[in-house]
Structure 1
Amino acid sequence: MDVVTIGDALITMNPLTNGPLRFVNTFERKVGGAELNVAIGCARLGLETGWVSRLGNDEFGRYAKNFIRGEGVDVSQVSFVEGSPTSVYFKEILDGDRINSYYYRANSPTDKLVAEEIDEAYIQEAKVVHITGVFPSINETNREVVLQILKIAKKSGVLVTFDPNIRLKLWTAERAKECLTSFLPYVDVLLTGEEEAQLLFGTSDLIEIVEEVKPHGITHVVLKKGKDGAVGYRDQQMIQSPAISTNAVVDTIGAGDGFASGYIYSLIQNWQLDQSLRFANAVASYVISVPGDNEGLPYLEDMEILLGKKKRVER
């Protein structure tokens, strides 16, 4: 297994018209979820990917599991639970850059997942474990589940990548900081946005962030800067990489997940920092040009064409 993620899946209700939700009458059903998007992104790039979760034993849960399996993600660590409906969220699209999310996660199926149920061998077989701040924000017990996975990864020498991905609709800034900083001693690669870094470390300056996390043993940090690309620090080297231009910004949801999947792919390929950043930026650029949470996640061939390594044959 190349990559293992853990998180929830939500039925995503994408509006078919833009504007405030109270004026939207039609929606298209999709499947989303931060960690799940990363798993799908890695699978489309050709990595062997697994996802750990729980789904409601209902039609939405069955639909989600079939969709995820169809994307080539291993779902052997996913099971259905009774009494907890599969979660749903609605997107409100005002324009490509202004998108609001409304979550309905009460009594989430993932509440039934406990640390003792984590298959240690499954985690040990992975090359990379990817976690975010979304899963632990859903329920207090999810923090213990994540810590269990992190401890297994740490003692087994599995690389851990961490995207804080803070959702302040799900918990307070204080709770987020207290929980997410407790994960840092287990993290090898930190992938953070500027606002998240400001909340966690009191700064959005990369060098200052590196100094903040160095006591935890983290020497590999990537700061995502949106339309300004990303800047990375690895092996005492700092590199700025500009964003890859796209024709239009259609839907920014999932761009960070796309960046993470691209960067994880580069780590498994043992690429240099500059190549890793450029590739991850390219994946994020591709994602925002397509509506939907994971519909725009590219295949490896798409990236080879975008980066000029391969020519597209249209007819």
Structure 2
Amino acid sequence: MPERYKVMTIGDAMITFNPSVQGPLRFVESFNRKVGGAELNFAIGCARLGLGSKWVSRLGKDEFGKVIYNFTRGEGVDVSEVELVEGYPTSLNFKEINGDGSGKTFYYRYHSPITTLTPEKVKAEWFENVNLLHLTGVFLAVDSNNLKVAKRMIEIAKEKGIPVSFDPNIRLKLWTIEEARKAYEEIFPDIDILLTGLDEIRLIIGKDSEGELSRFADQYGISDLVIKDGEKGSRLYRDGKWTEAPGFKITPIDTVGAGDGFDSGYIYGWLNGFTPEHLLRFANGVGALVTTVSGDNEGLPYLEEVSAFINNESIIER
């Protein structure tokens, strides 16, 4: 059956080493090898929900690069614009997970292969049959030149009438908040859907009242301003009106990737014309399910799992 909608994203990916035990990383002696990365998680999340999903990236031409490439292809993601390049090691990260599901991530992504992807290499043909372009601040933070790549992709998307969604996904281990704000200000005027955490928007604009957030969205012409607030739920500002939906009561195991899952759920609902209330509830459900499984993307649910969960939140058949 032909795909009804297709999304495209671009970004670095990493081999993620998950700890075998909870607690400070210095006491962990063994790890499980996984695959992760914000944009890759989003692409996989969309594919599992039934959207066509295309991921643009560059990986090291090494064993870890092959692991990521094969894993992603196996998830049904279009990897036609993923290349393995010589002389650039595939990025790594090590996760620290606490008893309450929270944690930290330690990155080793200097000299990332994604830096070989320059604006001149972005092709209009990539956008064929694409219905939405999704970008995140992680891609922008990895290398200063990635902003030029992102702006070129946005330029082509706008020429073709393709909407653009953006998740700031702030990583202060990769750049400063001042650098982040400067980069975001260059792309906010072209963003249709902004998916941001409440803590992130506070860092970006220094305010978090609904009045200030509304003015911010109106200033940049953002049609959907989505505020993610973890277990408390989420809010949407659209057409001068706020809509909110509570979160789901669950016991989190690993919160990493929940925001990426939320994004994939929101974009799925947006493309399929869900009402604002249904949009938020559906996206909240996807984000909640991600936290019930350890790993960056292992918990990303399939469509039938989300449907069962949001209709009866006691049902989690994994």
Return the TM-score normalized by structure 2.
0.95
Shift, 1:199, TM fit: 1.6
Partner Cα distance (2:9, 2:200) in 1: 20
| Percent of pairs with identical residues | 48
Partner Cα distance (1:197, 1:124) in 2: 33
Shift, 1:307, TM fit: 2.1
Specify the alignment match of 1:127 in structure 2: 131
1:124-203 equivalences in 2 (<5 Å): 124-203=128-207
Change (3 A) 1:22 1:209: same
Secondary structure at the aligned position of 2:95 is classed as strand
Shift, 1:158, TM fit: 0.5
15, 23, 26: which one aligns with 1:22: 26
Partner Cα distance (2:211, 2:263) in 1: 21
User: 1:30-71 CA distances to partner (integer Å, 9 max, x unpaired)?
Assistant: 000001100000000000000000000000000100000000
Specify the alignment match of 1:277 in structure 2: 280
User: 1:59-102 CA distances to partner (integer Å, 9 max, x unpaired)?
Assistant: 00001000000001000000011100100000011223430100
1:2-151 equivalences in 2 (<5 Å): 2-151=6-155
1:298 and 2:301 are equivalent in the alignment: yes
Partner Cα distance (1:313, 1:124) in 2: 37
Partner Cα distance (1:307, 1:196) in 2: 26
Change (3 A) 1:223 1:262: same
Secondary structure at the aligned position of 1:162 is classed as strand
Instruction: Give, as a single letter, the amino acid of the residue that structure 2 aligns with 1:266.
Output: G
Partner Cα distance (1:153, 1:264) in 2: 16
Tell me if structure 1 keeps the 8 A contact 2:214–2:240: no
User: Unpaired segments of 5 or more residues in structure 2?
Assistant: none
More displaced 10-residue stretch of structure 1: 115-124 or 127-136: 115-124
Secondary structure at the aligned position of 2:311 is classed as coil
Runs of 4+ in 1 over 3 A off after TM superposition: 309-314
1:261 and 2:269 are equivalent in the alignment: no
Tell me if structure 1 keeps the 8 A contact 2:194–2:224: yes
More displaced 10-residue stretch of structure 1: 194-203 or 280-289: 194-203
User: 1:103-155 CA distances to partner (integer Å, 9 max, x unpaired)?
Assistant: 00011000111011112122253111111100010001111111110111112
Shift, 1:309, TM fit: 7.8
Partner Cα distance (1:311, 1:300) in 2: 17
More displaced 10-residue stretch of structure 1: 83-92 or 122-131: 122-131
Specify the alignment match of 1:250 in structure 2: 253
Shift, 1:270, TM fit: 0.7
User: Unpaired segments of 5 or more residues in structure 1?
Assistant: none
Instruction: Give, as a single letter, the amino acid of the residue that structure 2 aligns with 1:20.
Output: P
Secondary structure at the aligned position of 2:72 is classed as helix
1:286 and 2:285 are equivalent in the alignment: no
Shift, 1:308, TM fit: 2.4
Partner Cα distance (2:22, 2:316) in 1: 33
Tell me if structure 2 keeps the 8 A contact 1:124–1:153: no
Instruction: Give, as a single letter, the amino acid of the residue that structure 2 aligns with 1:200.
Output: I
More displaced 10-residue stretch of structure 1: 258-267 or 213-222: 213-222
Instruction: Give, as a single letter, the amino acid of the residue that structure 2 aligns with 1:128.
Output: L
Partner Cα distance (1:89, 1:311) in 2: 33
Tell me if structure 1 keeps the 8 A contact 2:309–2:316: no
Change (3 A) 1:252 1:83: same
Instruction: Give, as a single letter, the amino acid of the residue that structure 1 aligns with 2:272.
Output: Q
Partner Cα distance (1:243, 1:51) in 2: 29
Change (3 A) 1:313 1:55: closer
Shift, 1:305, TM fit: 1.1
Partner Cα distance (1:98, 1:217) in 2: 34
Change (3 A) 1:186 1:20: same
Change (3 A) 1:310 1:107: closer
Partner Cα distance (2:289, 2:313) in 1: 16
